[in-house]
Structure formats: structure tokens, C-alpha cells
Chain A
Amino acid sequence: MRPTWVAGAAMSRFGRLETTGREAAAAVALAALDRAGIEPGKVELTVVANAFGIAERQAHVGPLLNTALGIPQVPSFTVESACSSSSAALHEAFVHVAGGFQDVVLVVGFEKLSHLGTLAATSYFAMGADYPFESANGATFPGLYATIADAHARKYGTSSEELGAVAIKNHANGARNPHAHFQKEISLATYLASPVVASPLRLYDCCPFSDGAAAVVVAAAEAVPHPSAEPAVIRASARAGDVGDIHDRESMTSLAATQTAARAAFRQAHLEPREVQFLEVHDCFTIAELVALEDLGFFPPGSAGKATREGVTARDGTLPVNSSGGLKAKGHPVSATGAAQVVEVFEQMNGLAGSRQVPHAEVALTHNVGATGSSCSVHLFSRR
């Protein structure tokens, strides 16, 4: 494999898009290329993620994006892996570039669901679960993660205060991120007063339904002799899968796909968890962040909640987690999320993160989960 970079990355503000998803996606794609200093004409492949494009009555959107970017002749395809769609797209781009098939590949992830009502949006999210064996029995997406939270609490005593610490931290980070859906801090009292959605998960345990778009330019190092920005070197790109239904897995308190992908990524990068300086993890629900930190190898099982309450994972802690605000505060436009995590890494490594800048931004990890853990991507990055 040859050295492969994230040469540029950009995102829209997450929240509610006034334009179509397609327009937002083309705009961030051009912004990412501009940050990389790469003309659209250099792109050799576009990999798109737009799991719920059907909500906008649009499929096969890659050629439309390429046409808008003035490169209609460039091949494209769409990757679907539920909430991990754009990290799966990034993995495909990495394989193509590192393998020598293309020099420059554009990754674009986007979603627009806000024009649907809450019930319809909830139903779309639930499509990532196993309909006849989970959803048809009454499970919502928060409900499925709530069973993980309940099992985790029964086994380790995970408390509301520990879940709340994740929400409070990520809202504090989101308040400093101009891209974030929610840019306000919350208190423990606010968290505890929020209504229960699916016990033990409250409203403030849940990420919002967001619209948004994010793009990443993946390029061979040798194809960018004079980069416009400090590239994030892709040290590892690993994916893993697991049994689709939570209840059929051996463990309900950890995600085996995260553990498998993390092991593969650290092996690929010749890195260890202690060398990672900041990370973006998949916190679609607060419990998901705690489980992720345990499965990735940063904390022993059952101890991430305590570490979060102690401030270890705060922006100024020893291991900043979700400096962007995470899915929880930055928002979760399904297929934009994985790419947006990489935007945060790129901005941190380029010193562009403003008041949310972490003290050490040399080595980073991103973790993006599809559905309830049946798909997972882990990427490792470092500065040159």
C-alpha cells in the first residue's frame, strides 16, 4: 500500500438544510477540494453515501454530484452501511488510492430527513435494525440502544449521572463548534429534567435528527506534491461486522464489531491506544460513547462512565473525546456522520478548530457505527 492522505475535508452546518441534500453535498465537496488545493478535474472517482436518499426521492446521486462539479465523466457509486455509510465510503476510497487504482478519490456523505415528521424520521432510523425480529416487536432505535444501556447498568452499575456526563461534555464542545446542530451547553439539572424517551435514555441522551453534508478528499501522497493544507495521513482503515440483532449477540454490553475493527486498525497502523491524542466516537446515544471507549481499548469494561465524570475525556482532559460535539451535539445526518468525524480530525490537525482546539492533535482515531453495531469502521490518522 502506498502513503494515502486526507488532503482536504469540509462540512456544512448540521441541523436543517434549506437546500436539497444534493446541493449541500456538491458545495461541501467543492469546499473540501479547495481546502486540498486540488481542482475537481483531478478527481478520478466519487464515492457517495446517502443511505436515505429515498426520503428526497433520489437515488444514483453520484453522477448528479459529479455533473454539478463539472466532472460528469468521472465514475461514481453509492455505499450504504446505515449510520456508518460515509466511513465505509472512506474505506473504499482508501482501498482504491492506497492500492494504486486512483490518485484522487472524493468521498461525499449527506442526508436530509428534516422535512419528515418525527415518527417518519424515527421509522427511517429504525430501518437499520432487523425489522421482523426487532422493530416489528415494538423497538425504536432509541429503544434498542436503551436495552444496551439497561444491560450495561445491570452489569456495571452505569448511572444516569455517568450517561449525563457524556451529554454535558459533548454539548460543551458543540457550543464551540460553528458546524454543530446544537451550540449550547447543558447542565446536569437540565439533563435530568429532560423527558425519558426509552428508559433509561432521556431526550438529552439521544442525538438529534439532523440534515447535513460532509466531504473528504482522499489522495495519494505522491499525487499532491505541494499540499495546500496539512494532510491527515491515513494510518489505518478497518471495518468489521457483527450479528445484526443485539439480542442474538454473545454480549449486550459491548460491540464486537468495534473491538474487531479497532484491533485490526491498531495492528495496521502499528499504534496503540495510549498513543492516540484525541478521538471522535459514535455517540448516537450517550451509552454508545461509553461502550465505544471500552471496546476501543481506552478504558476497561464498565469504567468509561466514571472516567467521563472525572473529566478525562473533556476537551482539556488527557484524552479529548468528541471535541466536535459528537453526534450528540454536532448532530447526526446519518450518511454525513463518518465523513464529518474526519473533518474534525482535519481541522484539529490544521489548527482550525478555534476555541475547541485540543492541546495535542498529532494522532487521532475515528469510530463510526452502522445501526446498533452490526457494522463498524475505525480509522487512525496522524500528521506527517
Chain B
Amino acid sequence: MESKRTGHSIEEYRRGYAEEHRLRGFRSGCGFVTATWGLLCPRCGARDLEEQPLSGRGRVVASTVQTVPAEGFVNDAPYAYVVVELEEGGRITGWIPGIRQPMEIPAGARVHWVSSPRAGVQFEVDYSPREEPPRSGGATPP
């Protein structure tokens, strides 16, 4: 059976966030949302993955402050690597420069994606006044 998927390649995903100011993802028939490239849904096996533009807004469900950097981030340490649960569902990963202590990203902290010429998907902690302040114990990890 031929896939109905009309989605992007890994390179198009990278170019999307790095150059085109768009964060691309997929949505499966079962509701699973991801940015991770694939042909079929890893949850339900469905072939009908649809393009799902990602807002890049959400809450941090897991994070770490890395003092030993990854290749390509040597001059950025320490920085945060975060797993973000998006408003539209699904999770994506990214990094936040300038974070030195875990307490700077409390549980459930709201973040938003910022288009940056730097490597990787970059987030900022959202201090917008319309957002609720992060509550202690916030989002429950999956």
C-alpha cells in the first residue's frame, strides 16, 4: 500500500527551523504529533501522516543543564537541553543558551521556540506577561 504521507525530509526539517522560520512536524491519525522524521506512525503504524506546523510553544517536561557540551556547542556551556510538550500535542527537544542552574527552568516552565541561525532548535523561557508564571510541580512528566 502506498503511503499517503506528503511530508518533509530530514533536511527540509532542518532548513525549516534554521532558515525558513518554520518548525515542521507530523500528525498521525491516532493523534500522535512529532517532529521526528518517519514514514509510518511509531505509535499506531498508520501511513497517513499529515504535515503539522508546530507552534514551538509549550511547557518543559524534562530538562538538564549540561556543563559538558555536545559537539557544536563547545563555547555555549553551560546550557539547558529541554524536552518540551507543545500546546498542540507532541514533544520536541531543543536547547536554551545562558542557563546555568536547573532552578532557572522550574517544572512546567513555559518556553517558546526562537528562530536562530545557531545550531539546533533553540528555545527561550517565556516571560511574556500574558503567560501564567510557572507553578511548582507544574507539568507531570510522561
Do A and B make up one complex? Answer: yes
Residue of A nearest to B83 (CB): A247
Task: Check A133 against B64 for contact (C-beta < 8 Å).
Answer: no
Task: Check B66 against A198 for contact (C-beta < 8 Å).
Answer: yes
- Chain A residue numbers with a CB within 8 Å of B61 are 151, 252
Q: Does A187 contact B (CB under 8 A)?
A: no
Most chain A Cβ neighbours within 10 Å, of B83, B91, B92, B137: B83
Residue of A nearest to B120 (CB): A137
Name B62's contact: one of A123, A132, A154, A196 (CB within 8 Å).
A154
Interchain Cβ contacts under 8 Å between A and B, 12 examples: A136-B120, A138-B69, A138-B119, A138-B120, A139-B66, A139-B81, A140-B66, A146-B81, A148-B62, A247-B92, A251-B142, A253-B141
Total residues of chain B contacting the partner, CB 8 A: 41
- Chain B residue numbers with a CB within 8 Å of A132 are 10, 13-14, 37
Task: Check A197 against B66 for contact (C-beta < 8 Å).
Answer: yes
Shortest B18–chain A CB gap in Å is: 10
Task: Check B81 against A154 for contact (C-beta < 8 Å).
Answer: no
> A151–B95 Cα gap in the complex (Å)?
17
Task: List residues 41-65 of chain B with CB under 8 A from any CB of chain A.
Answer: 42-43, 61-65
- Beyond A133-B36, A138-B79, whether A155 also contacts B140 by CB under 8 A is yes
Residue of A nearest to B18 (CB): A136
Task: Check B81 against A147 for contact (C-beta < 8 Å).
Answer: yes
Shortest A247–chain B CB gap in Å is: 4
Q: Does A199 contact B (CB under 8 A)?
A: yes
Task: Check A245 against B81 for contact (C-beta < 8 Å).
Answer: no
Shortest B37–chain A CB gap in Å is: 7
Q: Mark B59-90, 1 if CB is under 8 A from A, else 0.
A: 00111111111111110100101010000000
- Beyond A196-B67, A247-B83, A247-B92, whether A137 also contacts B121 by CB under 8 A is yes
Task: Check B120 against A154 for contact (C-beta < 8 Å).
Answer: no
- Chain B residue numbers with a CB within 8 Å of A148 are 62
> A368–B41 Cα gap in the complex (Å)?
27
> A136–B71 Cα gap in the complex (Å)?
8
- Beyond A122-B70, A133-B93, A138-B79, whether A199 also contacts B102 by CB under 8 A is yes
- Beyond A136-B120, A137-B93, A247-B93, whether A151 also contacts B71 by CB under 8 A is no
Q: Does B94 contact A (CB under 8 A)?
A: yes
- Chain A residue numbers with a CB within 8 Å of B142 are 151, 249-253
Task: Check A122 against B71 for contact (C-beta < 8 Å).
Answer: yes
> A151–B140 Cα gap in the complex (Å)?
8
Task: Check A151 against B69 for contact (C-beta < 8 Å).
Answer: no
Given A122-B71, A195-B67, A197-B67; 20 other pairs, CB 8 A cutoff: A126-B71, A132-B37, A133-B93, A135-B70, A136-B120, A142-B66, A143-B81, A147-B64, A149-B64, A150-B62, A150-B63, A150-B102, A152-B141, A154-B141, A197-B68, A246-B83, A247-B83, A247-B92, A252-B61, A252-B62
Most chain A Cβ neighbours within 10 Å, of B64, B72, B74: B64
Task: List residues 112-142 of chain B with CB under 8 A from any CB of chain A.
Answer: 119-121, 137, 140-142
Task: List residues 111-166 of chain A with CB under 8 A from any CB of chain B.
Answer: 118-119, 122-123, 126, 130, 132-140, 142-143, 146-152, 154-155
Residue of B nearest to A147 (CB): B62
Most chain B Cβ neighbours within 10 Å, of A142, A147, A248: A248
Name B68's contact: one of A140, A154, A244 (CB within 8 Å).
A140
> A362–B58 Cα gap in the complex (Å)?
51
Closest 4 CB pairs of A and B: A138-B95, A146-B64, A151-B141, A137-B120
> A26–B65 Cα gap in the complex (Å)?
41
- Chain A residue numbers with a CB within 8 Å of B42 are 243, 248
> A154–B70 Cα gap in the complex (Å)?
25
> A140–B80 Cα gap in the complex (Å)?
11
> A243–B40 Cα gap in the complex (Å)?
12
Shortest A230–chain B CB gap in Å is: 43
Q: Does B107 contact A (CB under 8 A)?
A: yes
> A123–B10 Cα gap in the complex (Å)?
20
- Chain A residue numbers with a CB within 8 Å of B140 are 154-155
- Chain A residue numbers with a CB within 8 Å of B137 are 154
- Chain B residue numbers with a CB within 8 Å of A252 are 61-62, 83, 141-142
- Chain B residue numbers with a CB within 8 Å of A201 are 64
Name A196's contact: one of B37, B43, B65, B71 (CB within 8 Å).
B65
> A199–B80 Cα gap in the complex (Å)?
9
